[in-house]
């Protein structure tokens, strides 16, 4: 019965024309759909930026430790993070400690990923941060290895991408011990506080 | 009724023809080699294994074709980072000696344009080369021809595996000549902004495990006015 219908249909030029029109419409619809709807749409959390009275902006992020730790890369760990991590044993990397974290905004929502690298370069200590926020861009910060009075470190923006490409500024890192006493509370948090100002128009 | 059926079948057939045409469009040329691969300037060449289990860690949302490694690594399942991948790997120099540690963070780019054969990924590298400094790399990469020639080919294979020798300069920008922007944060080139290009050579790709045998390479073109002593770098096999 189906074969009969098909034979009849394909023999019908009006049906064939309808099929061809449908084919063209299908091509147009697929192309239009692909053009109209983005293939990638990054989820955006609202930026929580404060404006300083003397110009410039501030934004803070934090890392709940140990919940937001993705990796602690350092030689000789008894309990590696993540479990199963095999850190290279090469002598060259003996003084290197590379950590990966998820970073949260001030609403405690995860908004990005960060890398912290600490190393001893010859006689000088080196501490670098890279913050990556997928919908916004990345910023590369060189920290001063010496802690300031009050126990925090400060560093300068060295480079940035997209939203951060036109910014210059500083970032501080500080360790805040949790004193809430709650059962599921983190041990503490790493506070990252950015102060920045735009130095040029995007694209210029 | 038969006209409605013919129209619907035509729509589906048209969409199918469009997808096939998009994937196998002969007018989409293969990406050209980057100028950095034939530069006369001095370069730093770093390589890394592209196989997932050779990385120190690799993590993503856990639902991607490339599986996280090691298996108990924290996944990037939160919405703002779900379309990102983080890889930490050992970097090797031109003599295949350990040169440092590299962290690559990649996120699918909203500038992706499948009609224009651009499957873009915004990625950054943080590279630390003990004795040679730290480098921050900004780049966008185009994986369109990789998807077409390796990933889709693996899906079409009855064994769900692609084998061959596929080389691609993945760097697509932001430089006008499809080069990456490399900023030295410390070391002999501190403060210098340089060009770079990343390439990927794939040998075996599995649908279930992602790249099984592959080699990544990153070339950094050093500034022409060298402030550092190139001989010391050459002695270490970095140049």
Residue spans per domain, chain A: 2-36, 50-198
A118 touches chain B (CB under 8 A): no
Q: At which residue do the structure tokens 């560093």 appear?
A: A155
DSSP string, B151-219: IHHHHHSTTSEEEEEEEEE-EEESSTTS-EEEEE-SSTTTT-EEEEEEEEEEEEEETTTEEEEEEEEEE
User: pLDDT: is A34 or B212 the higher one?
Assistant: B212
A133 touches chain B (CB under 8 A): yes
Task: Answer for the pair A122, A129: CB distance below 8 angstroms, yes or no.
Answer: no
So what's the pLDDT on residue B38? 75
**Cα separation, A193 vs A105, whole angstroms:** 11
Among A86-100, A135-149, A187-201, B124-138, the least confident range:
A187-201
- A42 and B76 within 8 Å at the Cβ level: the answer is no
CB-CB neighbors (< 8 A) of A161 in chain B: 122, 124, 138
**Cα separation, A60 vs A130, whole angstroms:** 14
Q: Domain A50-198 maps to which CATH number in 2.60.40.1080, 2.40.480.10, 3.10.20.90, 3.40.50.2300?
A: 2.40.480.10
Among A12-16, A115-119, B90-94, B175-179, the least confident range:
A12-16
Residue A6 has pLDDT above 70, yes or no: no
Q: Which helix (H) or strand (E) holds B234?
A: helix B230-235
Q: Which helix (H) or strand (E) holds A99?
A: strand A96-104
Mean pLDDT over the full length of chain A: 86
Residue A100 has pLDDT above 80, yes or no: yes
**Cα separation, A10 vs A4, whole angstroms:** 10
So what's the pLDDT on residue A40? 80
B75 touches chain A (CB under 8 A): no
Residue A114: pLDDT band by 50, 70, 90 thresholds? Answer: very high
Provide block-wise average pLDDT over 10 residues at a time, chain B (239 residues): 88 89 76 73 90 91 88 92 94 91 94 86 94 92 90 90 91 88 90 92 90 92 64 49
CB-CB neighbors (< 8 A) of B80 in chain A: 42-45, 109-112, 133-135
So what's the pLDDT on residue A201? 59
Q: How far is CA B210 from the centre of its chain?
A: 13
Query: Taking a contact as any Cβ pair under 8 Å apart, which residues of chain B between 128 and 187 contact chain A?
Result: 128, 130-131, 133-134, 136, 138, 181, 183, 185-187
Which residues lie below 8 Å from residue A82, measured CB to CB, with a gap of 6+? A70, A71, B57, B70, B72, B73, B74
Annotate A5-22 with b (16+ C-beta within 10 A) or e (fewer): eeeebeeeeebeebbebb
CB-CB neighbors (< 8 A) of A130 in chain B: 103, 105, 124, 126, 136
Q: Across the A/B interface, how many CB contacts are shorter than 8 Å? A: 227
Which residues lie below 8 Å from residue B30, measured CB to CB, with a gap of 6+? B145
- A121 and B187 within 8 Å at the Cβ level: the answer is yes
SS percent in chain A: helix, strand, coil, step 5: 20, 40, 40
Which residues lie below 8 Å from residue A33, measured CB to CB, with a gap of 6+? none
A12 touches chain B (CB under 8 A): yes
CB-CB neighbors (< 8 A) of B144 in chain A: none
- A20 and B73 within 8 Å at the Cβ level: the answer is no
**Cα separation, B30 vs B146, whole angstroms:** 10
**Cα separation, A84 vs B73, whole angstroms:** 8
- A85 and B187 within 8 Å at the Cβ level: the answer is no
Which of A18, A70, A90 is closest, CB to CB, to B10?
Answer: A18
- A122 and B131 within 8 Å at the Cβ level: the answer is yes
Six token digits for residue B220: 């950094």
Six token digits for residue B6: 């013919």
Residue A1 has pLDDT above 80, yes or no: no
What's the burial of B140, exposed, middle or buried (CB within 10 Å: 0-12/13-18/19+)?
buried
Six token digits for residue B218: 């990153």
**Nearest residue of chain B to residue A138 (CA atoms):** B124
Among A162-166, A168-172, B25-29, B64-68, the least confident range:
B25-29
Six token digits for residue B174: 């932001």
- A96 and B130 within 8 Å at the Cβ level: the answer is yes
So what's the pLDDT on residue B46? 94
Enumerate the H helices of B24-146 as residue ranges: 144-146
Q: Which helix (H) or strand (E) holds B5?
A: helix B2-23
> Which of A41, A105, A113, A155 to mutate: most B Cβ within 10 Å?
A113
Q: Which residues face A93 on adjacent strands?
A: none
**Nearest residue of chain A to residue B91 (CA atoms):** A88
Complex confidence, ipTM? 0.86
Query: Taking a contact as any Cβ pair under 8 Å apart, which residues of chain B between 26 and 55 contact chain A?
Result: none
- A26 and B13 within 8 Å at the Cβ level: the answer is yes
Enumerate the H helices of A11-154 as residue ranges: 13-36
DSSP A178: -
Enumerate the H helices of B40-113 as residue ranges: none
Region A44-53: what's the mean pLDDT?
81
Task: Answer for the pair A26, B18: CB distance below 8 angstroms, yes or no.
Answer: yes
- A140 and B16 within 8 Å at the Cβ level: the answer is no
A45 touches chain B (CB under 8 A): yes
So what's the pLDDT on residue B74? 94
């Amino acid at each position: 019965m189906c074969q009969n219908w098909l034979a009849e249909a394909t023999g019908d030029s009006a049906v064939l024309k309808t099929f061809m029109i449908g084919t063209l419409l299908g091509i147009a619809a697929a192309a239009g759909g692909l053009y109209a709807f983005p293939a990638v749409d990054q989820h955006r959390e609202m930026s929580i930026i404060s404006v300083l009275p003397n110009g410039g902006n501030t934004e803070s992020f934090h890392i709940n430790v140990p919940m937001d730790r993705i990796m602690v890369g350092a030689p000789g760990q008894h309990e590696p993070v993540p479990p199963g991590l095999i850190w290279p044993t090469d002598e060259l990397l003996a003084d290197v400690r590379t950590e990966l974290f998820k970073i949260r905004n001030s609403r405690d929502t995860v908004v990005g990923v960060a890398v912290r690298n600490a190393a001893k370069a010859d006689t000088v200590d080196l501490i670098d941060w890279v913050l990556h926020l997928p919908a916004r861009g990345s910023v590369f910060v060189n920290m001063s290895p010496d802690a300031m009075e009050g126990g925090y470190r400060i560093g300068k923006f060295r480079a940035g991408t997209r939203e951060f490409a036109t910014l210059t500024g500083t970032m501080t890192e500080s360790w805040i011990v949790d004193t809430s006493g709650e059962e599921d509370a983190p041990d503490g948090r790493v506070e990252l506080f950015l102060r920045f100002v735009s130095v040029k128009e995007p694209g210029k | 009724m038969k006209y409605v059926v013919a129209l619907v079948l035509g729509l589906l057939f048209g969409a199918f023809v469009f997808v096939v045409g998009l994937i196998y469009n002969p007018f989409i040329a293969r990406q050209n080699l980057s100028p950095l691969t034939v530069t006369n300037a001095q370069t730093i060449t770093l390589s890394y294994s592209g196989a997932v289990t050779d990385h120190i860690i690799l993590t993503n949302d856990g639902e991607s074709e490339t599986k996280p490694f090691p298996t108990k690594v924290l996944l990037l399942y939160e919405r703002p980072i779900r379309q990102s991948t983080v890889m930490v790997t050992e970097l090797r120099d031109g003599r295949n000696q350990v040169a440092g540690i590299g962290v690559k963070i990649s996120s699918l780019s909203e500038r992706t344009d499948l009609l224009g054969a651009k499957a873009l990924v915004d990625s950054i590298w943080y590279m630390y080369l003990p004795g040679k400094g730290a480098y921050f790399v900004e780049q966008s990469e185009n994986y369109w021809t990789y998807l077409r020639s390796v990933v889709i080919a693996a899906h079409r294979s009855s064994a769900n595996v692609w084998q061959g020798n596929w080389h691609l300069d993945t760097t697509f920008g932001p430089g006008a000549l499809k080069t990456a922007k490399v900023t030295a944060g410390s070391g002999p080139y501190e403060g210098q902004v340089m060009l770079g290009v990343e390439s990927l050579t794939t040998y075996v790709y599995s649908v279930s495990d992602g790249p099984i045998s592959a080699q990544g390479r990153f070339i950094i073109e050093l500034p022409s006015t060298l402030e550092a002593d190139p001989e010391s770098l050459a002695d270490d096999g970095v140049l």
